[in-house]
Structure 1
Amino acid sequence: MNTISIETYRNEYTGNNYYGILIDGISLEEHALKNSFKDIIPGLVSTFLNWLDDPQEQKIVWERALPEPYTKTNLPILMCGDDLDLWCTVIIAEVETDDDYVYWNKIGHDVGDDKNMPASIGTTVDWFSGETLVFKRKEYESVLKSFKKYLDRSYEGKLYQEISS
């Protein structure tokens, strides 16, 4: 069984705070890339952030975040911290659920082409980690809820919970 949680980080370039996901206390980026055979530039951020400006991209992420029990989907989990969209570097998790758990069966790098984007994101993936991550469904849903509260367009700015000094 794995743990999933969030931590608040500060972007050194913008000064904005943002949430990062931790898997067993390790950043999702570090966890995802430790088995990668790809040369991926560090600085990836969660796709759950309210930083996706394209409503279609945001919709795809949230529709795939928690699939119906006993189904699978390819969820974009990390995106390029520079471009903040699903057109650059995107890390995908194959997600499956049941009534009590969420499974990330494998993780990989999206290598699809630009046809039918953003709907085609996750169609062609170079899988580099076959390690299955298993989360308690309630814990996973709690992490999603932390991100969701910032999706409301009336929320000004892109700042997350303040970092205590």
Structure 2
Amino acid sequence: MIDEVPLDVIVHSFYPDHHLDGLIPTILDWIDEPREKAFVRSRYLSFKQREMLPILMCPDDCDLWCTLIIAEVVRFEGTIKWERMGIDQCTREDLIKSFENIGTKVEWLEKVPSMTFQPEEYDSQISKLIRE
């Protein structure tokens, strides 16, 4: 949720022809495969200055193999910013090689505005997504 609006609704409002409504957050409790869960957890907990974070996934299988929305997370001068969002374009072969390929090929959704967060609030929300 961003300002009480589900993220899939926000993204869908800018790109209604992409059928992105109904995507769900990459909550770790919903991902069954241990390697996928570990990968997403590592991205959530990353303190890199720039990280490609999977934030929304297809609800059908709750995995990283279908539609996956990425946020480019930038940490800078006491703020956390989702610089841009896009649809991951990794192929099946890319994912078989490594989940680290997620975020390397992205169709950026340029109409979606960047979003800035205060670290305390952001970290609190991330903690809700990764508790096990």
TM-score range, shorter chain: 0.7 to 0.9
Judge conservation of contact 2:80–2:117 (CA < 8 Å) in 1: yes
Aligned-residue offset at 1:143:
0.8
Judge conservation of contact 1:37–1:128 (CA < 8 Å) in 2: no
Flag the structure with higher helix content: 2
1:103 is aligned to: 81
1:122 is aligned to: 103
Flag the structure with higher strand content: 1
Q: Percent identity?
A: 34
Partner residue of 2:57 out of 68, 72, 79: 79
Q: Which consecutive residues of structure 1, in runs of 5 or more, have no partner in the other structure?
A: 1-21, 152-165
2:131 aligned with 1:131, yes or no? Answer: no
Aligned-residue offset at 1:41:
4.8
- For 1:116-136, what per-residue CA distance to the aligned partner results, in whole angstroms no more than 9, with x for missing partners? 412211111100135210001
Query: TM-score, with normalisation over the residues of structure 1?
Result: 0.70
Give, in whole Å, the separation in 2 of the partners of 1:32 and 1:66.
Answer: 24
> Which stretches of structure 1, 4 residues or longer, exceed 6 Å deviation after superposition?
none
Give the length in aligned residue pairs: 128
Aligned-residue offset at 1:80:
0.3
2:129 is aligned to: 147
Give, in whole Å, the separation in 2 of the partners of 1:105 and 1:133.
Answer: 7
2:91 is aligned to: 113
**Could you say what secondary structure the match of 2:11 adopts?**
helix
Give, in whole Å, the separation in 1 of the partners of 2:46 and 2:86.
Answer: 18
Aligned-residue offset at 1:38:
5.0
1:11 is aligned to: none
Give, in whole Å, the separation in 1 of the partners of 2:81 and 2:17.
Answer: 23
2:21 is aligned to: 42
1:14 is aligned to: none
Matched AA of 2:74: E
Q: Which consecutive residues of structure 2, in runs of 5 or more, have no partner in the other structure?
A: none
Give, in whole Å, the separation in 2 of the partners of 1:67 and 1:99.
Answer: 16
Matched AA of 1:28: L
Judge conservation of contact 2:28–2:40 (CA < 8 Å) in 1: no
RMSD: 1.9
Give, in whole Å, the separation in 2 of the partners of 1:49 and 1:99.
Answer: 29
Matched AA of 2:113: E
Matched AA of 2:107: D
Query: TM-score, with normalisation over the residues of structure 2?
Result: 0.85
